[in-house]
């Protein structure tokens, strides 16, 4: 199987919601037409099936009061087909991190995204981390990691949020929110399946350097299965669910 290509488009469009709705109804093949007119994308139309191309296009319009209205257009989108969204996986981890901090704040008022952090790991997959080289003050903080993920798509920042959340928490919350077909099973690092199930002890400190939160080492006990019911064979640039579970994804 050739590499799956997933393209995500978001277009800001000025206009009224009624006009946008009319345009959406009149252009059911909008993506096909846009690709056909583009010198770069048009060459892929004939190979769309072979390349397993899927496109999700979201047009953002505004109604008469200025409120955003979303219109989604798709091209060959298939929810039953496996694909690896690469760095798009960082977005749900950012949201889940903010949610977890808010949950913890109910019992620990001093906890925040700006607390200084220590990751007390002791392996190459879970290194001891007391500095953040990308942060202006070199201090590891959830807020710094979130900025680094959004601004530079930094993989190390993603790994630290993965450690803070843990594999089991990630999937429990995604399932509760209705995303039971999503699997976040690995760091962006050459870690084995067992290593990806584990997260190191983590400590958070307030501005006076007092310990406000201590999270012990965690091991995911949640069994993860392939939501599609089959294993997708991996090719160049693509790893299968089976390979990911065994750690062979790089």
Measured in residues, the chain has a length of: 250
pLDDT of 58-82, one tens digit each?
A: 888 898 898 988 888 888 888 777 7
Contact 149, 94 (CB under 8 A): yes
Q: Which residues contact 134 (CB under 8 A, 6 or more apart)?
A: 144, 148, 152, 154, 156, 157
Q: Whole-model pTM?
A: 0.72
* pLDDT of 13 over the 70 cut: no
pLDDT of 14-56, one tens digit each?
A: 333 344 444 444 456 888 888 889 888 888 888 888 888 888 8
Side-chain-side CA neighbours of residue 173 (13 Å): 17
* pLDDT of 221 over the 80 cut: yes
Least-confidence region, from 41-50, 111-120, 191-200: 41-50
| pLDDT at res. 148 | 97
> Taking the C-alpha atoms of 56, 169, 183 and 204 in order, what is their torsion angle to the nearest 10 degrees?
70
Q: How far is Cα 218 from Cα 167, in angstroms, rounded to an integer?
A: 9
Least-confidence region, from 71-85, 155-169, 211-225: 71-85
The tokens for 240 are 């299968």
Least-confidence region, from 17-31, 79-93, 109-123, 214-228: 17-31
Helix (H) or strand (E) holding 59: strand 54-62
- Per-residue buried b or exposed e for 154-168, using 16+ beta carbons within 10 Å of the residue's own CB: bebbbbbbbbbbbbb
Q: Measuring CA to CA, how many Å separate 11 from each of 30, 56, 57, 72, 203?
A: 13, 11, 8, 10, 41
How confident is the prediction for the chain on average, in pLDDT? Answer: 81
How far from chain centre, in Å, is Cα 149?
10
Give the confidence band of 141 by pLDDT, cuts at 50, 70, 90: very high
Coil/strand/helix, residue 159: helix
Say which DSSP state 233 is in: P
């Amino acid at each position: 199987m050739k590499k799956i290509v997933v393209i995500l488009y978001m277009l800001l469009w000025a206009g009224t919601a009624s006009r946008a709705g009319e345009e959406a109804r009149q252009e059911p093949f909008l993506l096909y037409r846009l690709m056909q007119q583009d010198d770069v994308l048009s060459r892929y139309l004939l190979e769309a099936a072979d390349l397993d191309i899927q496109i999700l296009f979201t047009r953002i319009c505004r109604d008469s009061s200025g409120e955003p209205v979303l219109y989604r257009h798709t091209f060959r989108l298939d929810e039953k087909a496996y694909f690896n969204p690469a760095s798009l996986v960082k977005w749900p981890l950012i949201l889940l991190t903010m949610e977890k901090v808010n949950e913890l704040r109910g019992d620990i008022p001093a906890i925040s995204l700006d607390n200084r952090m220590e990751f007390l790991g002791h392996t190459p997959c879970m290194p001891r981390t007391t500095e953040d080289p990308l942060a202006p003050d070199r201090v590891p903080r959830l807020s710094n990691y979130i900025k680094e993920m959004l601004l530079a798509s930094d993989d190390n920042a993603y790994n630290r949020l993965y450690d803070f959340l843990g594999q089991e928490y990630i999937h429990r919350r995604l399932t509760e929110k209705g995303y039971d077909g999503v699997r976040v099973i690995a760091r962006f690092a050459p870690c084995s399946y067992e290593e990806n199930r584990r997260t190191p002890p983590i400590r958070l400190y307030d501005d006076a350097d007092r310990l406000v939160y201590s999270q012990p080492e965690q091991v995911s006990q949640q069994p993860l299965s392939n939501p599609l019911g089959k294993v997708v064979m991996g090719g160049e640039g693509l790893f299968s669910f089976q390979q990911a579970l065994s750690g062979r994804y790089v």
